[in-house]
Structure 1
Amino acid sequence: MGKVIGAIALLAFSIYCVVDAVQTDDDQIRGLPKPLWLVMILLFPLVGGAAWLIAGRPVSILETLLGPRQPRVERGPMGPDDDPDFLKGL
């Protein structure tokens, strides 16, 4: 019984990933071209589907769950000895 449920879950996951990949615009897909993503999802259902959700979708499933990645903000000097303009004046 567990094998049947696992097979049905894998089939549903694969179908979801294929439909999601087909409906996504070509210019929004990340990483690989759409036909390669579809081949990967169909040949390797678990790994290909997971790769699609993480690396192929316009918005990664990780970004959906954890929130968008914050851009790295460059900080200014922390103290006078880190400030090149201050050090030039010495």
Structure 2
Amino acid sequence: MTRVIIVLIVVAVAFTIYTLVDVLLTERARVRAFPKPLWAVVVVLLPVIGGVLWLVVGKARRTGPGARPIAPDDDPAFLRTLSSEEIAKRAEQDERLRQLEQELADLDDDTPADPER
């Protein structure tokens, strides 16, 4: 039982340190409800509860273009930079890749006529 309590204390301390560092390193524009120094005090005085409150209430989610990385195929700005020749070349490569995958699938489907070979 004592081991469980020690492990829980270590986890609580690690979580508190993580959230305190997160409070201090978060951009001011992403902080909600209270100013950063007050959030730091809340996290330190209420170790686990303060950390959970910070992550749920205090830190705004990222929005805008930097929120999630977008694959080049899904990014309209990137697609606008491509010339029609590059798009045609890419389509040829995709078609060749599909043909090769089909040939490999056909080879995998072939079973030997004589099972003893």
- Band of TM-score, shorter chain: 0.5 to 0.7
Give the Cα separation in 2 of the matches to 1:40 and 1:16. Answer: 14
Identity %: 35
Letter in 2 for 1:45: P
Aligned CA-pair RMSD: 1.3
Q: 2:61, 2:42 → 1: CA distance?
A: 19
Corresponding residue for residue 3 of structure 1:
5
Q: Is the 8 Å Cα contact of residues 24 and 36 (structure 2) preserved in structure 1?
A: yes
How big is each residue's C-alpha offset from its partner over 1:32-79, in whole Å with a ceiling of 9 and x where there is no partner? 10000000000000111010010011229xxxxxxxxxxxxxxxxxxx
- Indicate the residue corresponding to 1:54 in structure 2: 56
TM value normalised by structure 1: 0.63
Aligned structure 1 segments of 4 or more residues deviating by more than 6 angstroms: none
Distance 1:19 1:58 in 2: 16
Give the helix-richer structure, 1 or 2: 2
- Rg larger for: 2
Say whether the 8 Å CA contact 2:30–2:61 is kept in structure 1.
no
Matched residues, number: 60
Shift of 1:13: 0.5
Q: TM-score, normalised by structure 2?
A: 0.49
Structure 2, unpaired ranges of 5+: 63-117
Bigger relative contact order (CA 8 A; separation at least 6):
1
The residue number in structure 2 matching 1:31 is: 33
Is there any run of 5+ residues in structure 1 with no aligned partner, and where? 61-90
C-alpha deviation, 1:24, in angstroms: 0.4
